[in-house]
Structures are given as structure tokens and as C-alpha cells.
Amino acid sequence: MNTAELICPAGTPAALRTAVDAGADAVYCGFQDATNARNFPGLNFTPEELRESVAYAHAKGAKVLLTLNTYPPAGKVDLWRQAADTGARLGIDAFIVADMGVADYVARSHRGIRLHLSVQAAASSPEAIRYYCEHFGVKRVVLPRILTIPEIREVRKEVPCEIETFIFGNHGLMVEGRCSLTNYLTGQSTNMDGVCSPASDVEYTRHDDGSISSQLAGFTIDCFGPDEKAGYPTICKGRYTAPHRSEGYYAFEEPVSLNLSRLLPELIDAGVNAFKIEGRQRSKSYVREVVSAFRHAVDDIRAGRSANVADLVALTEGQKQTQGAFETKKWR
């Protein structure tokens, strides 16, 4: 049986130390700019912070993966190249990339450092994955969140690299790296700027009847009753009307989080080499609780015991969870 690694989010140096202390095998993080897909205010690392964080992680036997997983717009490629060079100099253990130009640069300039293919590249077939492996020497692919476990098992047999899947956290609905919904409403791009439903464009309006509506860039994304907790206005989790759905419905998905804690043994059996926890934008206490719970679960499974994952539903978005596409084709 393979020993699945636990890959944990680090939005800040404090979260990185928390994740390492809670038992992360590796943490992933990025710089404070558009070179990574969580380019949010107050998040991410300066080069000096990354240097100290790499030392901290390495001292405790954990790896540090650098996210360079956005798509540089023409004319700005140097920013991504410099980020790669800086990461290499600071001793990171792997790059996570999506853009082929960036992959090509890293593969040629930093041969000794592992290359992981980001979920943002949306490589969802053995052929697509093999393209990246053969041309850029990719060692691991992060699979899009659209495959069932039997499908993952089939992919695993046909690719020459390790595979990583998301197991917990935000549940993106769109093919990763192919979504410009945020740019359509706000003028900031997920692919080019690393931004999704930016907080600077979010407003909550309380109406006379006590109800609250959430808006993104002036567009109403959802409405909540006086006693409901108002959710964050992410476009693909919004409520809209259609010609035959005048009552309003979640056209894409309800505000739910991915939680595959019950499927871990099956995923390991299908050949998944690494489990990824989403949430670089989440708090230290969230990171501690989620990483600890999954650390125990993975250790139990490795030791042949049945895993008893603590109830994490209170930590999920809208306190609702899903197994998404992993459980059944009916999700599609």
C-alpha cells in the first residue's frame, strides 16, 4: 500500500508552522503577488518569510511546495520567472505550476527541483497528464475535482507520475483554470491575477424586512432571511432565477464544502499518493483542527486501523458538506 502524504495550506508563516506542528507532510504556499491563485490581501509570504518557513518545515521533516499556479499575461512573464528563481534559491521542495510557459522555464532552469502540475492546468485525462510528464518532467499531478474514484483508479494506471487529490475545503464547481466569472463581474482575473470573488468587491445589504442580500461588484449573488447566516458571495454558489425557475435556485451548486474523510481508504486503494487540504485563506485554528483530524485518520489507515475522522462539519462552508464528483457520476 502506498503511504499517502498530507498536503496542507499555508496562507501565512503562522499557518505554515501550525500545519507543520499538526502533522503536515508538506505545506503549500505562495508569494504576495499574482503568481499564485490565492492572491488575497494579508495572505502569502515575503521572500524572507519563505526562507524562515522553509527552515522551520525542513527542521521538522516537512516539505514546502511553492504555488506558481496562475497564468502570466503576455508582457508580465518575468514576475513568474523571478518567483521561481527566488523559490529555488530559498530551498523549496517543489513547484506547483499550470502555465506551459512557466512549466517550460522551471523545467529548464531548475532541473533539480520537482515539478507538480497544478489543478489549475485541469489535466483530467491520462493523455493530458502524460503530455506534461513527457515534456516538462512533471512528477505529480493534482487532479481536477471532477473524477469518480473508479475513474481515478483508471487514470492512475495509465500515467507515469504520482497523483494528488483534494479531500477537504472549498469545492470549486468550474473546471479549474478555465473560469473567468470573477473577471466578468469585477475586472480581476482568477487566472491572471489569482483572484476569486475579491473581498474588496463584496457588500452586504440589510433590507427593511430584516433580510440580507450579498453582492459582488453590485450584482446580487444571494439573499438570506433575518435568521439565516449570510454566506460569502461566490458567483458559482449564488442563487439565480431561470425562465422556469422563478423561485430562485442554486444554479451551479449550493454553498457546500468538499469532505472526503469517509473515502480516504478507497482513495488510497485507488492509488492516490497525496491528499490536499484546501484553505490558504483560512485561520490558524482552522488549519490546526483540520490537519490534526486528517493526520490521525491517515495514520490510522496506514496502520491498518479503521479511521475515525472527527466531525468537521462545523468548519465547512455553510456547515454543509459533499463528496462531490468523487462518490457518484450523478453529481455531474
Partner 1 sequence: MAVREMTKLTLGPIAYHWSAETRRDFYARIADEAPVDEVYLGEVICSKRAPFHEPDLSTTIERLERAGKTVILSSLAEVMLKRERKAMEMLCATDGLEIEINNAAGLFARGRRPHRLGPFMNVYNEATIAWMAGQGATHVCLPGEMPATAISVAAQAARDLGLGVEVQVFGRASLAVSARCYHARAHGRTKDNCGFVCEKDPDGMPLRTADDRPILRVNGIQTQSESYVDLLPETERLVADGVTHLRLMPQAVNMAAVASAFRAALDGRLALSDAEASLRDLCGGTSFSNGFYHGRAGYRRIASAATA
Residue ranges in 138-177 that form contacts with partner 1 under rule CB under 8 A: 144, 146-147, 151, 173-175, 177
CB of 180 to partner 1, least distance (A): 4
Per CB under 8 A, 56 contacts partner 1: no
Which CB, 204 or 249, lies closer to partner 1? 249
Instruction: Choose which of 21, 88, 252, 263 interacts with partner 1 (CB under 8 A).
Output: 252
Residues 189-203 as b or e (16 or more Cβ within 10 Å = b): bbbbbbbbbbeebbe
Cβ-defined contacts of 232-240 (< 8 Å, 24+): 232/197, 232/202, 232/317, 233/197, 233/202, 234/196, 234/197, 235/181, 235/182, 235/185, 235/197, 236/172, 236/173, 236/174, 236/179, 236/181, 237/173, 237/317
Binding mask 196-235 for partner 1 (x = CB under 8 A): -----------------x---x-xxxxx------------
Per CB under 8 A, 332 contacts partner 1: yes
Which CB, 19 or 107, lies closer to partner 1? 107
Per CB under 8 A, 194 contacts partner 1: no
CB of 222 to partner 1, least distance (A): 7
Per CB under 8 A, 186 contacts partner 1: yes
Per CB under 8 A, 84 contacts partner 1: no
- Phi and psi of 7, rounded to 5°? -105, 120
User: How is residue 249 written as a grid cell?
Assistant: 435556485
Distance CA 253, CA 256 (A): 8
Distance CA 272, CA 152 (A): 8
Per CB under 8 A, 128 contacts partner 1: yes
Which CB, 157 or 314, lies closer to partner 1? 157
